[in-house]
Amino acid sequence: MTRRSIIAGTGAALPARSVSNNELAAWKNIDTTDEWIVERTGIRNRHIAGEGETTATLAADAARRALAAAGVAADRIGLIVLATATPDQTFPATATIVQTMLGIDDCIAFDVAAVCTGFLYALSVADNMLKGGMADHALVIGAETFSRILDWEDRTTCVLFGDGAGAVVLTAEEGDPDSGILASRLHADGRHNDLLYVTGGPSTTQTVGTVRMKGKEVFRHAVVNLAGVMHEVLDAAGHEPGDVDWVVPHQANKRILDATAKKLGLAPEKVIVTVDRHANTSAASVPLALDTAVRDGRIRRGDLLVLEAMGGGFTWGAAVVRY
């Protein structure tokens, strides 16, 4: 028996407003077409936060649903790790705002910044803190309002992203070594800052800035890095691609999902796809996809999952989970 981190429950939240490609083009006056976006990315809709909806409100809603699914009361949470690139304020951490919204008086709470890989980083940090005895129950959240850092004049980026949040309750249990998070692997290579970044920041421009991306180069790195880290993490967990029941990938682009699955020899039916409905929600996309597939009954207890993501930095990572 060893101390394990088990995913006890999942939750998600999306802004009320869902916007199709055609609606977005008309609303923001973008020179694009539904055909172009669907063909290049697989995206059909995204949710866009409205007045009163922020990264913290979405995160808190997702967290409440995850707590309810886990049957864990908020006051038992000892740790909140929140991944975001779009915090409500530069400081304090959005995790502390969520903590207050959930009515938790005292726990460890901080944000993790690894952009689209943020949830994998947060999950690994929380897993290790639980195993180290720092807490018994953790909320791990990915939440974003990317619509607020998009340049709506730049059609090469603004059609790709959406807003949302996903959360899991991680619970430490003395259990079977083949349960919960079996392995995680994380990477970063800061030399690629210029391929995917935001033009501002408190210490440089004193502004928030907007997203810039060289899509083709990012695409190329994504497929190589994701296939590599998935092999690495499966090896670390003592599994092979053939053992995997479901891949829960970061949802950036349907073509990246297809190319990565092909490189691993995985059937496309084993890949959870939500990019058509949510677009790229950065740190929220993996837990949003996980919650979608748990609630629609595809992912069941005992299934072997691979979670993976890649994003700005570059950062990339993967985790193998016995759900």
Other C-beta atoms within 10 Å of 239: how many?
A: 18
Q: Which of 253, 274, 281, 315 binds ligand COA (CB under 6 A)?
A: 253
**Cβ nearer to ligand COA, comparing 92 with 209:** 209
Q: What's the min distance (Å) between Cβ of 221 and ligand COA?
A: 9
Strand 180-188's sheet: what is its strand order? Answer: 180-188, 315-322, 304-311, 246-249
Rule CB under 6 A: say whether 155 interacts with ligand COA. Answer: yes
Q: What are the residues whose beta carbons fall under 8 Å from the beta carbon of 101, sequence distance 6 or more?
A: 56, 57, 60
CA distances to 254, 261, 271 from 244, in Å = 20, 11, 10
CB of 320 to ligand COA, least distance (A): 21
What is the closest distance, in whole angstroms, from the C-beta atom of residue 159 to ligand COA in the complex?
4
Establish if 156 lies at the interface with ligand COA (CB under 6 A).
yes
**Residue in 21, 116, 239, 278 annotated catalytic:** 116
Q: In angstroms, what is the minimal distance from the CB of 319 to ligand COA? A: 17
**For ligand COA, which is the closer residue by CB, 216 or 301?**
216
**49 to each of 55, 112, 157, 183, 291, how far by Cα in Å?**
9, 21, 17, 34, 20
Give the helix ranges, DSSP H, for the chain. 21-28, 34-41, 55-70, 94-101, 118-131, 155-158, 215-237, 254-264, 275-278, 285-295
How close are the terminal C-alpha atoms of the chain, in Å?
Answer: 17
Q: Is 28 helix (H, G, I), strand (E, B) or coil?
A: helix
Q: Nearest-CB residue to ligand COA?
A: 215
* Identity of the residue numbered 128: N
Q: Quote the crossing angle between the two packed helices 55-70 and 94-101, to the nearest 10°.
A: 50
118-131 and 285-295 helices, crossing angle to 10°:
80
* Residue number with CB closer to ligand COA (316 or 323): 316
| Interaction of residue 159 with ligand COA, rule CB under 6 A | yes
User: Is 280 an active-site residue?
Assistant: yes
Residue with tokens 């952009």, as numbered in its chain: 115
Contact characters 8-27, ligand COA, x per CB under 6 A = --------------------
Instruction: Tell me whether residue 116 is one of the annotated catalytic residues.
Output: yes
Which among 21, 250, 253, 278 is annotated as catalytic? 250
Residues between 109 and 148 that touch ligand COA (CB under 6 A): 116
Q: Which is nearer to ligand COA, 191 or 216 (CB)?
A: 216
Q: How far apart are CA 131 and CA 2, in angstroms?
A: 9
Minimal distance, residue 37 CB to ligand COA, in Å: 6
Nearest approach, Cβ of residue 312 and ligand COA (Å) = 7
Give the residue among 106, 66, 109 at the shortest CA–CA distance from 87.
Answer: 109
Please tell me the distance from the alpha carbon of residue 109 to that of residue 79, in angstroms, as a whole number.
6
Site string for ligand COA, 273-292 (x = CB under 6 A): -------x------------
Candidate residues 3, 17, 20, 36; the one interacting with ligand COA per rule CB under 6 A: 36
Does 81 help bind ligand COA (rule: CB under 6 A)?
A: no
**What is the x/- site pattern for ligand COA, positions 193-222, by CB under 6 A?**
--------------------x-xx-xx--x
φ, ψ of residue 159 in degrees (nearest 5): -85, -10
Supply the residues annotated as catalytic. Answer: 116, 250, 280
Binding site residues, ligand COA, CB under 6 A: 32, 36-37, 40-41, 116, 155-156, 159, 213, 215-216, 218-219, 222, 252-253, 280, 310-311
